Amino acid sequence: MAKEFQKYIMHIDMDAFYASIEQRDNAEYKGKPVIIGGRTRGVVSTCSYEARKFGIHSAMPIHEAKRKCPQGIYILPRMKYYQEVSKMIFEILQNYSPLVEMASIDEAYLDITGLENLFGTPEQIAKKIQTEIFQKTNGLTASVGIAPIKFLAKIASDENKPHGLFILTKETMFDYLHNLNIQKIPGVGKKFVIELNKIGIKKCADVLNISKDFLEKKFGKAGIMLYERAEGIDEREVTPYTERKSESAETTLDENIIDKTILKKWLLIHAERVGMGLRKQNLKGRIITIKIKYADFKQITRQRTLEKRTNATDTIFENACYLLDEIPLIKPVRLIGVGVSGFEEIQQKQCSLLDYTTQTPKQELETKRNNLDLTLDTLRNKYGLKAVIRGKLFEQ
């Protein structure tokens, strides 16, 4: 009989990511309090562990940080550069599992179930990955958490930071859960914690002393989620947002934005980049994804599966807008992205001018869009990327 493997999800999170990169590149910053931030927001993005000893943390106003640690080294973020490092780490991870979900610039989930024969025990895999990241990035460290479910893997990676490793198995996870403070559960925000504290809930064990029905009545979906997490249930799979052959584009905005009209302009810019990328590779995808990170760093993705695969900018844009319209925006957004996946190579000259007469109105529209894209791509190849900009970007 085939061996049944225990489910293992790994969460990897880089230590003091932006600050560690700056310390790596500037020998004189090593061992010193280094604070990154301040470009437009005026807040700390992150800081080195030396700076954390002064009480500095992410999202603190820079002026407050300067008061706490005037001798600190204050640096503006170099986002593009950090993104390149992030990509390199992502590439390393992809050699270990086909299921890699990059959850943010410095963290990823890997489904490592059943990889024992290839790479060893979960502990050995974690150590291998930590060593490879350290060597290939010239000294950056990562912390790893492993657990049978996603949210516990994430909590576990924080347990022994920096350069830490913490493993929970299906035998040990329930003891760990019993004493876990509810505010550690991703998705349980500050306000929710206050409400829960009011009714005597501080730890997961307290949650299980209350009925699920009561929690649902009082807190709705959030109540059910909390109960399930406390029971050790999290059915979310590791879903690669960027598959090996997916095309995506995203931007961390200079300023947090809540206005959907402006966000849609970003969707168009990204749809254009993604569409061009697909057309260059002769690919069409069926799944359109948008990714949104709110100012408070909560992240959501929404997907839509199309009847027919596409690489037309306007079709990608239209569906991305549909997905955005479905989201009630109650908080400002700091990052927005568009992705297309679910591919198939196109065999023939789909970009040539097709006969409209045999097509349904939907196909006809898609053909018109393909032809427009073809014209714009040709112009851009000749005169440069910014030579042609779609009218929608100028509309108010």
Inter-residue contact 320 to 331 (CB < 8 Å): no
Which residues, 189 to 248, sit near Mg ion by CB under 5 A? none
* Of 22, 50, 101, 107, catalytic: 107
For residue 105, the partner it binds in Mg ion, ligand TTP, none, with Cβ less than 5 to 8 A by kind, is ligand TTP
For residue 46, the partner it binds in ligand TTP, Mg ion, none, with Cβ less than 5 to 8 A by kind, is ligand TTP
Contacts with ligand TTP, residue ranges (CB under 6 A):
13-18, 45-46, 58-59, 105-107, 161-162, 297
CB closer to ligand TTP, 73 vs 268? 73
Cβ 14 to Mg ion shortest distance, Å: 5
Inter-residue contact 326 to 302 (CB < 8 Å): yes
Which residues, 94 to 113, sit near Mg ion by CB under 5 A? 106
Distance CA 310, CA 79 (A): 31
Distance CA 300, CA 134 (A): 30
- Vertex 91 angle, CA 270 and 141, to 5°: 110
CB closer to Mg ion, 10 vs 204? 10
For residue 161, the partner it binds in ligand TTP, Mg ion, none, with Cβ less than 5 to 8 A by kind, is ligand TTP
The two beta strands, 333-345 and 247-257, are antiparallel
Cβ 76 to ligand TTP shortest distance, Å: 12
Cβ 376 to ligand TTP shortest distance, Å: 34
b/e 80-106 (16+ beta carbons within 10 angstroms → b): eebeebbeebeebbbebbebbbbbebb
* Interface mask toward Mg ion for 3-42; x: CB under 5 A: ----------xx--x-------------------------
For residue 356, the partner it binds in ligand TTP, Mg ion, none, with Cβ less than 5 to 8 A by kind, is none
User: What phi, psi does 226 have (nearest 5°)?
Assistant: -60, -45
For residue 286, the partner it binds in ligand TTP, Mg ion, none, with Cβ less than 5 to 8 A by kind, is none
From 379, 254, 267, select the one nearest 322 (Cα to Cα).
267
Is 107 in the active site? yes
- Does the protein bind Mg ion through residue 130 (CB under 5 A)? no
CB closer to Mg ion, 14 vs 152? 14
Cβ 145 to Mg ion shortest distance, Å: 12
Distance CA 169, CA 18 (A): 31
Cβ 232 to ligand TTP shortest distance, Å: 24
Within the chain, where are the H helices? 17-25, 49-52, 62-68, 79-94, 116-119, 122-136, 150-157, 173-178, 190-198, 204-208, 212-219, 221-231, 260-281, 313-325, 361-383
Residues that bind Mg ion (CB under 5 A): 13-14, 17, 106
Which residues belong to the active site? 107
